[in-house]
Amino acid sequence: MQRALVSVPTPAIIRYKRNEIQTIYDSPLMDLVFRAASVHRLHHDPSKIQLCTLMNIKTGGCTEDCSYCSQSSRYSTPTKASRLVDIEPVLEAARKAKENGSTRFCMGAAWRDLAGRKRGFERILTMVREVRGMGMEVCTTLGMLSPEQARQLKEAGLTAYNHNLDTSREFYPKVITTRSYDDRLGTIEAVRDAGISVCSGGILGLGEADSDRVGLIYEVSNMPEHPESFPVNALVPIEGTPLEKNERVAHHTLLRTIATARIAMPSTIIRLAAGRQTLSEAEQAMCFMAGANAVFTGEQMLTTPCSPWEEDKAMMDRWGLAGMRSFEQSSVATKEGSRLEVVPESPKAESLKAEAT
């Protein structure tokens, strides 16, 4: 069925000051969600959700000390370290994701950076090239990047690079000490300068205050360009990490954060990431109403469970939602340039497109 509401051209970016974002965040929740939903409908087709599938291509053994992460070698957790996977299992997983309607495939590696990993990086560049050749959007999260590495990833066809700021600048040192906030911003700058879409968001439930959630949105929304994607993770406390006893973030806090981010970054895709499987269907629907428009779907997040495709498809059907096409977001399509004209689509993707319209 054709929807009456369609995306409209993006107006000039409004930059909110931190106190203005705090005022938005503190407004009565129903008003906040209504305002966010209105902004969402002006900038996106509200019936579309981007379906992404994530694969961990190198698990555990990371030297960093992110206090929420089961992959840090500093903590004794159930996650076991492994080597970088071969190319074929990755392509197999990407094909399966595409057959199931995912249009973005993300690959994550647990390490600080690519220093001393020349052969591994070449393998990853091949993975990017091959997955992109399937007509999917390709994202990687590989730690810190140099401008040259970002350029090579772009040349291989990388669509987006994930590098989260995690939380506010002030709270950040309480969570990670082995790399600075400015190190993170440096990688994000290299990614942006290479013409790759930036995916950068945070984690809720680290022990942060409301002002830290506002600080995160302030930092991200005041980058030279709004990120293409803002993932919102709800901490899944992992046994053995310093945050193992943290309480789950309340749904109303998650909702408030999503709605505020939607207002501060109207064109950005807001990604409901780790922790989604702990939400009820009604709680997820409220998040979509408030402006979330992407999910990870499939078999597994990096180290936590994920909702399977069939469940997500059934849920989306009940709420009148459909999967986004590859490169549907205009800022991504612009960065993709002429590459888009030569990408083949699978018959299943074509039928998903038809369903979506």
- Whether 271 is a known active-site residue: answer yes
Helix pair angle (147-156, 181-193), 10° resolution: 40
Q: Which residues on adjacent β-strands are paired with residue 139?
A: 106, 160
Q: Where are the beta strands (DSSP E) in 117-228?
A: 137-141, 160-162, 197-199, 202-204
Instruction: Return the structure tokens found at 343.
Output: 């990408």
Nearer to ligand SF4, 72 or 159 (CB): 72
CB of 196 to ligand SF4, least distance (A): 19
Q: How far is the CB of 201 from ligand SF4 (least distance, A)?
A: 13
Binding residue per annotation — 306?
no
Task: Check the annotation: does 256 bind a ligand.
Answer: no
- Given 52, 62, 287, 306, which residue is catalytic? 62
Pairing between β-strand 292-296 and β-strand 160-162 as defined by DSSP bridges: unpaired
Does the annotation flag 52 for ligand binding? no
Residue keyed to tokens 């190198």 = 58
**287 belongs to an annotated ligand binding site:** no
Task: Kindly tell me the sign of the dihedral angle through the C-alpha atoms of 69, 75, 76, 82.
Answer: positive
How many angstroms separate the CA atoms of 18 and 40, rounded? 21
Evaluate whether 356 touches 328 at the Cβ level (below 8 Å): no
Catalytic status, residue 151: no
Residue pair 201/164 in contact (Cβ under 8 Å)? The answer is yes
- What's the closest the beta carbon of residue 248 comes to ligand SF4, in angstroms? 19
**Shortest Å distance, C-beta 236 to ligand SF4:** 13
Catalog residues that contact ligand SF4 under the rule CB under 6 A: 62, 64, 66, 69, 71-72, 110, 143
Task: Single out the catalytic residue among 52, 66, 287, 306.
Answer: 66
Nearest distance, CB of residue 67 and ligand SF4, angstroms: 9
Given 117, 192, 271, 276, which residue is catalytic? 271
CB burial readout 278-287, b (16+ within 10 A) else e: ebeeeebbbb
Between 110 and 270, CB nearer to ligand SF4:
110
User: Among residues 217 and 238, whose Cβ is nearest to ligand SF4?
Assistant: 238
Q: Is 139 a catalytic residue?
A: yes
Whether 52 is catalytic is no
User: Which residue in 35, 117, 132, 139 is the catalytic one?
Assistant: 139
**Does 66 participate in catalysis according to the annotation?**
yes
Q: Is 306 a catalytic residue?
A: no
State which residue, 163 or 313, has the beta carbon closest to ligand SF4.
Answer: 163
Mutual angle of helices 87-99 and 118-133, in 10-degree steps: 30
287 part of the active site: no
Known binding residue 35? Answer is no
Catalytic site residue from 199, 256, 287, 325: 199
> Residue 333 corresponds to which amino acid?
A
Q: Which residues are catalytic?
A: 62, 66, 69, 106, 139, 199, 271
